[in-house]
Amino acid sequence: MRTMKSIFIGMLIFSNGISLAATTSDTINIKQIFSKPDGTFAMQGEGALANASADRDCLPGAVWDKSWTGLDADASERIIAVILSAHGQGKPLKVQTDGCIGPWHKITSIYLGQ
């Protein structure tokens, strides 16, 4: 019984580690913004997102750009407004990503600080 309990706790810790490892966080300065009429939206940072890894998070062999992050066509207008505000003010954004949308890291949340 004790062995089973140890195995269960080990599996629980291991599985939580995997789910938490996928989301990454980077602070970027926005260089460019891209948008399409269908609502697709992306931004390019001044450099590669150091913590995001398309090799780990995206389809094997996919072509991706290390400095771009994006949102699907159903992107929140609030998130886009914050991104545009940061770009207009020249302020850095903390961007959390998880996986990819096409050649971009997929934005899951953003934070605009001081």
The pLDDT of residue 81 is: 93
Coil, strand or helix at 4: helix
Q: Find the largest Cα–Cα distance for the chain.
A: 60
Report the amino acid identity of residue 53: S
DSSP one-letter code for 103: T
Q: What is the CATH number of the domain that holds 69?
A: 2.40.50.70
Q: How many domains does the chain have?
A: 1
Q: Determine, yes or no, domain membership for 3.
A: no
User: What is the model's pLDDT at position 5?
Assistant: 44
At 55 the pLDDT is: 66
Domain that residue 102 falls in = 23-112
Report the pLDDT value the prediction gives residue 63, as an integer from 0 to 100.
65
For 45-103, the pLDDT digits (tens) are: 998 888 887 666 676 666 677 889 999 888 888 999 999 999 999 999 999 998 888 88
SS3 107: strand
Q: Is 42 part of any domain?
A: yes
Report if residue 18 sits inside a domain: no
> Each residue of 14-50: pLDDT tens digit?
333 333 446 889 999 999 999 999 888 999 999 888 8
DSSP string, 20-75: HHH-EEEEE-EEEEEE-TTS-EEEEESS--SS--HHHHS-TT----TTEEEE-TT-
Q: Please check whether residue 10 lies inside any domain of the structure.
A: no
Residue 12 lies in a domain: no
